[in-house]
Amino acid sequence: MLKRHESCIGLSLPAIGRFKLEVWWCPSGFKIKPHVHDNVSIESLFVMGSGSYVCRKPEGELFAEQHKLRALRDFGRSFSIPAGCVHWFEVGKWPLLFINFEWWKSGVKPSSASDDFKEKV
């Protein structure tokens, strides 16, 4: 149930069919490299912390503008990350806590976004 990606810690709950829920905590100053999740589309819900996030379509066009997250102002804000969308983020002054609502592709056994992580250069 506990997952790790570098210094980030996740709580991965059991899947219900193709749907899965994960809660992630990332320390202040953490930078996650550009990456994709080929087998899962994610709706990421901001709970607390600060940072910035960018997502680009596989063709390179901007899918979501860079979002700057701030503690209380953005509580409950969510971001869509379609499967194959290159995205990255930087955690700001405050540690980041977010919830991933994950929809896994048909025929793929749900695991964890950390297992489906593929770094992009």
Q: Give me the CATH number covering residue 6.
A: 2.60.120.10
**Per-residue pLDDT, 98:** 93
* Distance separating alpha carbons of residues 40 and 108, to the nearest angstrom: 9
Q: Give the structural domain span for 97.
A: 2-119
Q: List the beta bridge partners of residue 79.
A: 44
With a cut of 60, say whether residue 83 has pLDDT above it: yes
pLDDT tens column, 19-53: 999 999 999 999 989 899 999 999 999 888 888 87
Give the pLDDT band (50/70/90) at residue 71.
low
Between 80 and 43, whose confidence is greater?
43
What ranges make up the beta strands (E) of 1-121?
2-5, 8-12, 19-26, 31-37, 40-48, 51-56, 62-69, 78-81, 86-91, 96-104, 117-119
Work out how many domains the chain is built from and give that number: 1
